Amino acid sequence: MTGPDATGVLTGLLHAWQRAFNAHHPTEIVLLFSQDALFQGISPRLRRGREEIFEYYDRIAHGTTAEAKLLSAALLGQAIVHGFAEVTFTAPTDDIHRIRLSIVAEQAEEAWLIHQYHAATHHDSGSSPPGDTGSPAKVQ
């Protein structure tokens, strides 16, 4: 099947997401998501749509940064790509939290948008996952 470069699409989206996340610009982050995106961060609540995704990212502590690394990407169709990434969050307290991210993106007119986002904690020995309290405010 011929189509877009899945690695290029996801790398571009993750780079834009990381830049907006590190600048604490939730408005810019949500523009990377489709209007009806499904979003599962570290908190137990499943979110749908840009408004709920904005609320999630707006609660993240200022000064928290993220570094995303694409692990794999593949084409699902002419206008759909999916992949996996590892994201390392550093809190203002210098605590480090790692997640594995599953992402599905769709082409909408000229732009690629995240349609599904699912994060799962990636435990290091001796650290607790950031979502243990059910609150996204700590990291993600």
- How confident is residue 111, by pLDDT bands cut at 50, 70 and 90? very high
pLDDT (tens digit, 9 = 90+) per residue, 35-89? 999 999 988 899 999 999 999 999 999 999 999 999 999 999 889 999 999 999 9
Q: Which pLDDT score, from 0 to 100, does residue 139 have?
A: 34
Q: Could you tell me how many helices (H) and strands (E) the chain has, helices first? A: 3, 6
Q: Report the chain's mean pLDDT, rounded to a whole number.
A: 88
- Give the CA angle between residues 18, 122, 42 to the nearest 5°: 65
* Residues 6+ away with beta carbon under 8 Å from 13: 32, 103, 105, 112, 114
